[in-house]
Amino acid sequence: AQSVTQLGSHVSVSEGALVLLRCNYSSSVPPYLFWYVQYPNQGLQLLLKYTTGATLVKGINGFEAEFKKSETSFHLTKPSAHMSDAAEYFCAVIPDTGRRALTFGSGTRLQVQP
């Protein structure tokens, strides 16, 4: 079965610092990979996705992620954190087996310190 592991339930960075949120998945075939962001009391918003093609994908708000098959990873980065980036971030997968449901990681809460 697919599983998604997010290392670090809480990450704190200073404003302007690099953001790195880690995600590893278990799969025998490359799945579809996603990062979602959730602001307080709101639904989930798609940040970026990897399906096929270029392994470095760019999303909204300056975020990007790189699919590394050899490491089964899909880490999320942003060069310079902004206060408005404070939120919870979820990595998710859809296995390439015809299923459509997302399997989510446990989430990482990002705090941005002034």
The DSSP secondary structure of 23-84, one letter per residue, reads EEEE-SS--EEEEEEE-TT--EEEEEEE-SS-SEEE-GGG-EEEEEGGGTEEEEEESS--GG
Q: Which of residues 87-106 bind another protein (CB under 8 A)?
A: 90, 92, 94, 99-106
Part in contact with another protein (CB under 8 A); list of ranges 14-22, 35-43, 66-74, 78-86: 35-43
Contact with another protein (CB under 8 A) among 44, 62, 66, 109: 44
- Contact positions vs another protein (CB under 8 A): 32, 34, 36, 41-46, 49, 51, 90, 92, 94, 99-107
